[in-house]
Amino acid sequence: MTCPLCHPEGENILWQDALCRIIRVADDDNAGYCRVIWTGHVAEMTDLEAAEREHLMRRVYAVEGALRECFSPAKINLASLGNMVPHLHWHVIARFEDDARFPDPVWAPPKRSGAPQPDVDDDTLCRALAQWLGRMDD
């Protein structure tokens, strides 16, 4: 099977380098949803070298920081699952107490119609992300 993360289509890329990319996920229920995707086709964090893990996680933390800054969520959810697509990627999701599934994970069935969430455009999120990426590499 062709790996959809090795051969992506239509991704909304906010930032990338040779090792990984940060995309924004279009999700009607979760306005503040990004993924950090490792470029190489590996499955697990322990398939990476220590420096590679650190590189990847600093990007995850930067996304967390930017989502907190832009969305003021109740909670951030971080997850690397990959059961469907075993190509290393991190979900970084801003959660709200009145979102469609809170306090369940975003993969659970919806509990309610979610309330409106902050309307943050890509440019605003990118600017916050750039600042957080800079801080993480200090």
Which residues are at the interface with a second copy (CB under 8 A)?
43-46, 50, 53-54, 57, 60-61, 64-65, 68, 74-84, 86, 95, 102-105, 107-109, 136
Sheet holding 12-16, edge to edge: 12-16, 20-24, 33-38, 89-95
35 vs 60: CA distance, rounded Å: 8
Q: To the nearest whole angstrom, how small is the minimum distance from the Cβ of residue 49 to a second copy?
A: 11
- Helix 122-136 to helix 50-71 angle, to the nearest 10 degrees? 140
- Cβ-based nearer residue to a second copy, 24 or 95: 95
Phi, psi of 36 (to 5 degrees): -110, 115
- Please answer whether residues 64 and 78 qualify as being in contact, where contact means their C-beta atoms are separated by less than 8 angstroms: yes
Q: To the nearest whole angstrom, how small is the minimum distance from the Cβ of residue 25 to a second copy?
A: 16
Q: To the nearest whole angstrom, how small is the minimum distance from the Cβ of residue 124 to a second copy?
A: 18
Structure tokens given for 110: 């919806």
Q: To the nearest whole angstrom, how small is the minimum distance from the Cβ of residue 32 to a second copy?
A: 13
- Nearest-5° angle of CA 2, CA 6, CA 107? 85
